Amino acid sequence: MAGTDSTRKPAATVSGGGAPVVVLVEPQLGENIGAAARAMLNFGLPEMRLVRPRDAWPNYKAINTASGAESILEAAKLYDSTEAAIGDLHHVLAATARPRDMAKPILTPREAAARLRADTADRMRCGVLFGGERAGLENDDVALAEAVVMVPANPAFASINLAQAVLLLGYEWFQAGREAALPELPARRQEPATQADLHHFFEHLEAELDACGFLHPSDKRPNMVRNIRNIFTRANLTDQEVRTLRGVVKGLAEPRRRS
Amino acid sequence: MAGTDSTRKPAATVSGGGAPVVVLVEPQLGENIGAAARAMLNFGLPEMRLVRPRDAWPNYKAINTASGAESILEAAKLYDSTEAAIGDLHHVLAATARPRDMAKPILTPREAAARLRADTADRMRCGVLFGGERAGLENDDVALAEAVVMVPANPAFASINLAQAVLLLGYEWFQAGREAALPELPARRQEPATQADLHHFFEHLEAELDACGFLHPSDKRPNMVRNIRNIFTRANLTDQEVRTLRGVVKGLAEPRRRS
């Protein structure tokens, strides 16, 4: 943060939504967590969150690899679930090495950085999910994101190390901030929904869909739930829109309840 | 010399003078050499040269860290001096973390990649020097280069790990090549919904919301309808998603209809 901001107007960038949060989901190797922290400090991403790291925390291998970026590790927060880790964020992207069978926009790191710059300037809290070393993010985690970030690379050898993926995102974030001091955007009229709001809506909708039998053949349920969540995740809902949707679901389902 | 001659025929089809050579000068840690090799294979830089690596070669820590990019290490050549390592090259850049007291152009990785693309397209053999972990390149090595590459980063924490510096150069090299000739993008697997599909869904939803009384105070109806349509219009729905949503609305409303 200090880096980006100290080069140009310091207050302007900070007063936005702040730099994007880096969320490592089930990271395995302390070395990679440390190297990610170093890359984050290089490029002005101060906030790391960890979802169920494999090894005990604090992790001394992480500290050894951070090479001066221990402050990032010390401030890192731990979470039991990806949902919990992103609850307070407005916009979430997911870094993934392979295309998923989901209807989500695919962004390069450069496109993602431009989007994150615009959203944080618009006072949104943003985050990017990175999966563990073995297999990357689960589909359920990717489903939480509104778009996917893929690094264009040699198709015969496209697997990017976890810390390197964080580095590339951070690098593009920093370069995007250098390119232009963003003009003041008109004030947003409506508050965006947080991930937690969205999650409550999903739970409500899915409970009603369970009750009416729509989600029934239970082997298909996870996929149906994911597809439905995808639709709404992508829509960048406002606070008010989530309330409207809850009203819609309640309105449609309620009369049945009463009968 | 061998390098120059071989570019005339076979390499011409690939990209003129071939991809830039990565020259690691006095690298210390095998892990970083391995991680650099991995990054090189990720981004289409096949040729590594090593000037006086600290440890014995082959280096098993390097092999362990290469994670599939061992071919780069196996083909790496060793040299006693930087001059020898760059003897067959036409253009040499030097990656450095700090400005030197030398009258040389300073390029960002992006600018360097554009220059390397132009030079290699022009059948030039190019290389980039990277210094060891402890102190980077000696001034004498920097002096051999026609320009310096510096990664813009947090001025309070600008030191980039050796492998990360190679990664960033490779990444920009690859992106610069993509811009010229875009490889196939992941195909969109699902058909987008037509406006007519969307409209039928809206009519269905609104009929049900009228039936359950949700849209009742009729002076507010036009605005509520507009807000709800907005949500779904923004989501860029696929054909399949519209069918899913119609199923959701039907599922929620149907039991009432039957009762």
Residues 6+ apart with CB under 8 A from A147: A93, A94, A104, A105, A106, A107, A112, A115, A234
Residues 113-142 of A with CB under 8 A from B: none
pTM of the complete model: 0.76
| Among B65, B154, B174, B244, the residue to mutate for chain A (most A Cβ within 10 A) | B154
Tell whether the model's pLDDT for residue B25 goes beyond 60. yes
- How confident is the model at residue B17, as a pLDDT? 64
Q: Which amino acid is it at B44?
A: G
- Cα gap B127→B105, rounded to integer Å: 16
- How confident is the model at residue B9, as a pLDDT? 33
- What residues are paired with A114 via a beta bridge? none
Residue B229 binned pLDDT confidence (cut-offs 50, 70, 90): confident
**A42 vs chain B: nearest CA distance in angstroms?**
5
- How confident is the model at residue A233, as a pLDDT? 83
Cβ-Cβ contacts under 8 Å between A and B: the total is 166
Residue-wise pLDDT for B43-77, tens only, equals: 999 999 999 999 999 999 999 999 899 999 999 99
Among B129, B170, B121, B171, which Cα is nearest to B11's? B121
DSSP string, A100-128: -SS---EE-HHHHHHHHHHHHHTT--EEE
Query: In chain A, which residue's Cα lies nearest the Cα of B243?
Result: A228
Tell whether the model's pLDDT for residue A12 goes beyond 70. no
Q: What is the mean pLDDT of residues B154-179?
A: 92
Cβ of B44 within 8 Å of Cβ of A248? The answer is: no
Sign, Cα dihedral of A189, A194, A198, A204: negative
- How confident is the model at residue B16, as a pLDDT? 53
Tell whether the model's pLDDT for residue B213 goes beyond 70. yes
Residue-wise pLDDT for A50-81, tens only, equals: 999 999 999 999 999 998 999 999 999 999 99
Work out the end-to-end distance of chain B between its first and last CA atoms, rounded to an integer number of angstroms.
88
Q: Which residue is associated with the tokens 């609850």?
A: A87
Residue-wise pLDDT for A223-240, tens only, equals: 889 888 888 887 778 888
Q: What is the mean pLDDT of residues B146-154?
A: 92
Instruction: Supply B99's token pair.
Output: 């400005």
Residue B248 binned pLDDT confidence (cut-offs 50, 70, 90): very high
Tell whether the model's pLDDT for residue A103 goes beyond 50. yes
Kindly list the strands in the beta sheet with B126-130, ordered across the sheet, starting from the edge strand earlier in the chain.
Answer: B77-79, B48-51, B21-25, B126-130, B91-95, B147-149, B106-107
Q: Which amino acid is it at A60?
A: Y
Least confident of A92-96, A183-187, B2-6, B88-92: B2-6
Residue B180 binned pLDDT confidence (cut-offs 50, 70, 90): low
Residues 6+ apart with CB under 8 A from A153: A160, B42, B43, B174
Is the separation of the CB atoms in B142 and B96 below 8 Å? yes
Q: What is the mean pLDDT of residues B240-255?
A: 89
- Cα gap B43→B19, rounded to integer Å: 10
- Cα gap B98→A211, rounded to integer Å: 64
Tell whether the model's pLDDT for residue A110 goes beyond 90. yes
Interface confidence (ipTM) of the complex? 0.74
